[in-house]
Amino acid sequence: MTGSEATQDSAAVDRSRRRGPPPVCPDFHAAIELIGKRWTGAILVALTDGPLRFGELAKSVPGLSDRLLSQRLRELEDEDLVERTVAPDAPVKVTYALTARGNDLKPAIGALREWARRWKLGKDA
């Protein structure tokens, strides 16, 4: 081994020591902050049992204003988690439902719900 190779090897070891654990996967980071945004998780959970009208959704998430509910629903439509359907009846009936991508969140939502129940989180908070 030449002196130069030895230097390169120990530099590589130093770098790997400094590097430490791998960075948290950005997919997960984006996901948790998307569904953890204020009210978003609650809206998604409310829709897990099936489509709801705006007024029904508003009642499912007490404390959420209509204005903010509209805003969150638009964000969830933009993220392709919720779809808005307008039935051409009179009076017009607008419903909100989970998309395939939103529906696929159910196992994660279920697991988190069970954790919250096991640790009685709502009561501590």
Residues lying near a second copy in the complex (CB under 8 A) are found at: 19-38, 40-42, 45-46, 49, 52, 55-56, 59-62, 79, 101, 104-105, 107-125
Q: Sign (positive/negative) of CA torsion 69, 70, 75, 76? A: positive
Least CB distance to a second copy at residue 17 (A): 11
Least CB distance to a second copy at residue 1 (A): 30
Q: How distant, in Å, are the alpha carbons of 32, 34, 80, 123 from that of 28? A: 6, 10, 17, 28
Contact indicator for 57, 43 with CB cutoff of 8 Å = yes
Least CB distance to a second copy at residue 32 (A): 3
Copy the structure tokens of residue 42.
Answer: 């609650």
With respect to a second copy, which residue has the nearer C-beta, 11 or 30? 30
